[in-house]
Amino acid sequence: MIESQRHSYHLVDPSPWPISGSLGALATTVGGVMYMHSFQGGATLLSLGLIFILYTMFVWWRDVLRESTLEGHHTKVVQLGPRYGFILFIVSEVMFLFALFRASSHSSLAPTVEIGGIWPPKGIAVLDPREIPFLNTLIPLSSGAAVTWAHHAILAGKEKRAVYALVATVSLALVFTAFQGMEYYQAPSTISDSIYGSTFFLATGFHGFHVIIGTLFSIVCGIRQYLGHLTKEHHVGFEAAAWYWHFVDVVRLFPFVSIYWWGGI
């Protein structure tokens, strides 16, 4: 840190990334609407907006890593901000996914006459919850144990074991994603098949998307651990990834019970 600084807070330097991210989001939104309504140039604007957002994400996070790892600006006080912010983010994600699972539970507990008064709706074939769905519930829980192993290895100063644990976490995540894709390929229903298809593919699809995000998060943490960026005193980025991964693990139980089990027994 700068020697003349007499406080433990980080006063960030001026950055172009907030405005560039806003412009990218604007281009993505406008381009998406134009594309959905078949306007000329909509697909191009949408693609440029997404590229702009991804570039902004990369360079902004690059700057944050430099400030924390190389420049030492992230003191104990500064680290509280990202921790509290990420906890609030996870809470918002819990609310979002709970709404999807609640829609499925509502329809299954009190099926309306429009779907035949039964659950699953009449004419809808479902997956056996004791096959791939059950296996794909055990895999995330196992990966949660692996990421906990990585956390304890970092706290103990065992860098290689932490890398091995993160490799195991990512491997299990990739296996889960492959099984999820196989499940969708073999699914006897589609997203347009009544309320069952809508809630099934929305809930499991968004959970699968969160698994992909968590996988990328874990890969980045594994690379940073290999490069020696994470220490027992400073590993906020890994803590955020571990919290996110445990959230994804626990959330998997909700679609298994509310969608697979209630719909498949």
Q: What is the pLDDT of residues 74-107, one digit of tens each?
A: 778 888 888 899 999 999 998 888 888 788 778 8
pLDDT higher at 6 or 19: 19
Q: Give kind and range of the element (H or E) at residue 170.
A: helix 159-186
Amino acid at 209: F
Which of 73, 93, 114 is a domain's end point? 73
Give the span between the Cα atoms of 235 and 245, in whole angstroms. 15
Q: What is the pLDDT of residue 258?
A: 58
CATH at 9: 1.10.287.70
Q: What is the pLDDT of residues 212-252, one digit of tens each?
A: 999 999 999 999 899 888 888 788 888 999 999 998 888 87
Q: What is the pLDDT of residues 115-166, one digit of tens each?
A: 778 878 877 877 777 788 888 888 988 898 999 999 999 998 888 999 999 9
Q: Are residues 53 and 130 in the same domain?
A: no
Q: What is the pLDDT of residues 13-60, one digit of tens each?
A: 888 999 999 999 999 999 999 999 989 999 999 999 999 999 999 999
Number of Cβ within a 10 Å radius of residue 225: 23
Q: What is the pLDDT of residue 151?
A: 92
Q: Are residues 128 and 94 in the same domain?
A: yes
Q: What is the pLDDT of residues 167-219, one digit of tens each?
A: 999 999 999 999 999 888 888 888 888 888 888 888 888 888 999 999 999 99
Q: Are residues 51 and 133 in the same domain?
A: no
Q: The domain containing residue 42 runs over which residues?
A: 1-73
Which of 29, 44, 73 is a domain's end point? 73
Query: Residue 178: inside a domain, yes or no?
Result: yes
Q: Annotate 26-95 with DSSP letters as a single string.
A: HHHHHHHHHHHTT-TTHHHHHHHHHHHHHHHHHHHHHHHHIIIIIS----HHHHHHHHHHHHHHHHHHHH
Query: Residue 265: inside a domain, yes or no?
Result: no
Q: Are residues 126 and 5 in the same domain?
A: no
pTM of this structure? 0.81
Structure tokens at 32: 């998406």
Q: What is the pLDDT of residue 235?
A: 85
